[in-house]
Structure 1
Amino acid sequence: MFGRRPDDAVEKLRRGCDREELRADGTTAAVIDASFTVEPGQIFVVMGLSGSGKSTLLRMLNGLLEPTAGHVRFDGQDLTELSDRELRQVRSKKISMVFQHFALFPHRSVLENAAYGLEVQGVPRAEREKRATEALELAGLAGWEKSWPDELSGGMQQRVGLARALATDADLLLMDESFSALDPLIRRDMQDQLIELQDKLKKTIVFITHDLNEAMRLGDQIAVMRDGRIVQTGSAEDILVRPANDYVASFTQDVDRSRVLTAASVMDTDVRGDEAGCGCPTATSGTPFGELCAISARVSHPVAVVDTVNGERRLVGVVPRQRLIGSLGDEQGDPAPCDSPRAGGEKVAARA
């Protein structure tokens, strides 16, 4: 809550007041009852329009803003109960942040910028330069260590910011619209870079964006915010195929479904049988939608979806051609949610 008498505003919210009534009293409810859990090794994306509360929510996760009510729990600690000194320790060693506008020091070299977080921790110079060099290599900037920030493109500067976060080996990365200031092609390249790094490092990441296509591409789980509240949390497929309300549905109407959906999203699971033995082309539950369409074009019957169950290949569903066509339009299937947690890192839980 921002403004006068924030604690009173919390009580009013609990009694049923809305944001507009609070604003008339001089209080802004930036985040309201936003409760969620980020699993270890997961990319958790928070998305919404400007003013939805997503950046405020992110700043509560590392203690830059203290919740008016509620708790933020990380690695067994309640961050809202830590002293300023303890909170600084958590920020310097366990939580790193990648900013939207790079936040590089113009008077420091690329290597010195990447090593800055380690310098704050008091790491000896030789070790911090070694770790920063390794982080820059991971971020695709090997050979640029002695360059200055103004000699780099926007995308390269953002890579330095990412390398700075990686160098500290923090358990949690917070990324506040980190790619939104970049040109579309560079932004796509940075998304590829983040996905590649995540496959190697298995970090826990909370990523803020207002771009739904970016959220769909990066997020293991996505939380959609509106007017300070989380209106839906789920996988990209859940949100695309089973929107919680008209607001989420309108958000997703322009998304390229073929890049998000898989066979599991559109298949009919009301089937019986073992592995299809006709020798016809089959799919697995994880087969991308585009590939599924190509298989469907080669056969005159529904595509069989075959997975390995208890060591045996079994028929788990079929995809009729009509269902493929309907999935690209307004017709919605009945998907089974896909859950793909990634190992490693720490668990984050928040209730604000």
Structure 2
Amino acid sequence: MTAPGLQVQGELWLDRAPLIRNLRLDFPAGQWSCLLGPSGVGKSTLGRLIAGLAGPFQLQGHCRASDAVPLSGRVAMMAQDGQLLPWASVLHNVTIGARLRGQVPDMARARSLLAELGLDAMAHRRPGTLSGGQRQRVALARTLIEDCPIVVLDEPFSALDAATRLAMQDLAARMLATRTVVLITHDPLEAVRLADKAWLLSPDGACALDLPETVPPRSYRDDATLAMQARLLARLHGMQPA
């Protein structure tokens, strides 16, 4: 799979009001890009737009792949809560995309992904019997089986405890290597650990961040990682309403 880069430029509107102006984002091909910012700034809205989902938003500008091929059918999205069907088995959840499209699911591929994610023994269990980390691994398998070159991760690990979150970050970095990933998060440490490029969003646009020179996923113990996290926390705190 050859993943293209992605460019977003223009103004993002929600209903009839501007949400983010002066957007100029260039997501590099085959790397992780992060959108960071306070709640309500428009991170998830931008992610939904990139994923081609419907909603009361529009981009006055363009969102396109660097290879000039249309984005339709080439973007997968993993949401914060996983959005698993509670009445369906793990295996059914992983293959739901094909079923909804009226296609025959690739059960061998689904089982292979579950085995790679350490979930092969849980294929016939329901989501309610799984831990939070296990449910997010199921959601990751469902994202991977779509085999899309561009993946949007919308706050995918925010509901997990700190240790599980770190483990899921490392797992996602390994499983999504070579894809063009857009990570949406409010967690500075997550952004610093995983991103090749990152931007801080505000209503006035996107400010590029100077990340440590080390290769992601970066160690959460590294001095440069921790120092960058502290600087981002200070900037985010300054953006919060009084």
Aligned to 1:190, the other structure's residue is in SS state helix
**Amino acid across the alignment from 2:28:** E
Aligned to 1:117, the other structure's residue is in SS state helix
**Of 148, 156, 159, which aligns to 1:170?**
148
Q: Which residue of 2 aligns with 1:157?
A: 135
**Of 177, 182, 186, which aligns to 2:164?**
186
> Do structure 1's residue 67 and structure 2's residue 43 form an aligned pair?
no
**Does the 8 Å contact 1:52/1:228 carry over to 2?**
no
Q: Which residue of 1 aligns with 2:89?
A: 109
- Return the alpha-carbon distance in structure 2 between the equivalents of residues 43 and 63 of structure 1: 19
**Does the 8 Å contact 1:237/1:260 carry over to 2?**
no
Q: Residue 205 and residue 161 in structure 1: after superposition, are their counterparts in 2 closer, same or farther (change >3 A)?
A: same
Q: Residue 48 and residue 257 in structure 1: after superposition, are their counterparts in 2 closer, same or farther (change >3 A)?
A: farther
Matches within 5 A, 1:334-345: none
Runs of 4+ in 1 over 4 A off after TM superposition: none
Q: Which residue of 1 aligns with 2:100?
A: 120
CA deviation after TM superposition for structure 1 residue 236, in Å: 4.0
Aligned to 2:184, the other structure's residue is in SS state strand
**Of 184, 195, 212, which aligns to 1:208?**
184
Q: Which has the higher helix share?
A: 1
**CA deviation profile, 1:319-352 (whole Å, cap 9, x unmatched):** xxxxxxxx9x99xxxxxxxxxxxxxxxxxxxxxx
CA deviation after TM superposition for structure 1 residue 95, in Å: 1.1
CA deviation after TM superposition for structure 1 residue 101, in Å: 0.9
Q: Residue 68 and residue 205 in structure 1: after superposition, are their counterparts in 2 closer, same or farther (change >3 A)?
A: closer
Aligned to 1:69, the other structure's residue is in SS state strand
Q: Residue 235 and residue 185 in structure 1: after superposition, are their counterparts in 2 closer, same or farther (change >3 A)?
A: same
Q: Which moved more, 1:29-38 or 1:149-158?
A: 29-38
- Return the alpha-carbon distance in structure 2 between the equivalents of residues 77 and 32 of structure 1: 26
**Does the 8 Å contact 1:115/1:131 carry over to 2?**
no
**Does the 8 Å contact 1:95/1:172 carry over to 2?**
yes
Aligned to 1:205, the other structure's residue is in SS state strand
- Return the alpha-carbon distance in structure 1 between the equivalents of residues 148 and 45 of structure 2: 21
Aligned residue pairs: how many?
210
Q: Which moved more, 1:187-196 or 1:225-234?
A: 225-234
Q: Which residue of 1 aligns with 2:225?
A: 260
- Return the alpha-carbon distance in structure 2 between the equivalents of residues 228 and 137 of structure 1: 45
Matches within 5 A, 1:32-71: 32-64=21-53, 65=55, 66-71=57-62
Aligned to 1:105, the other structure's residue is in SS state coil
**Of 109, 119, 122, which aligns to 1:131?**
109
**Amino acid across the alignment from 1:219:** A
**TM-score for the superposition, normalised by structure 2:** 0.78
- Return the alpha-carbon distance in structure 2 between the equivalents of residues 48 and 214 of structure 1: 12
**Does the 8 Å contact 1:44/1:205 carry over to 2?**
yes
Q: Which residue of 2 aligns with 1:235?
A: 211
CA deviation after TM superposition for structure 1 residue 169, in Å: 0.6
- Return the alpha-carbon distance in structure 2 between the equivalents of residues 257 and 107 of structure 1: 43
**TM-score for the superposition, normalised by structure 1:** 0.55
CA deviation after TM superposition for structure 1 residue 237, in Å: 4.8
Q: Which has the higher strand share?
A: 2
**Of 74, 88, 96, which aligns to 2:76?**
96
Q: Which residue of 2 aligns with 1:76?
A: 68
State the structure with bigger RCO (CA 8 A, min sep 6), 1 or 2: 2
Matches within 5 A, 1:239-254: none
**Does the 8 Å contact 2:79/2:153 carry over to 1?**
yes
> Do structure 1's residue 143 and structure 2's residue 143 form an aligned pair?
no
- Return the alpha-carbon distance in structure 1 between the equivalents of residues 77 and 22 of structure 2: 24
CA deviation after TM superposition for structure 1 residue 206, in Å: 0.4
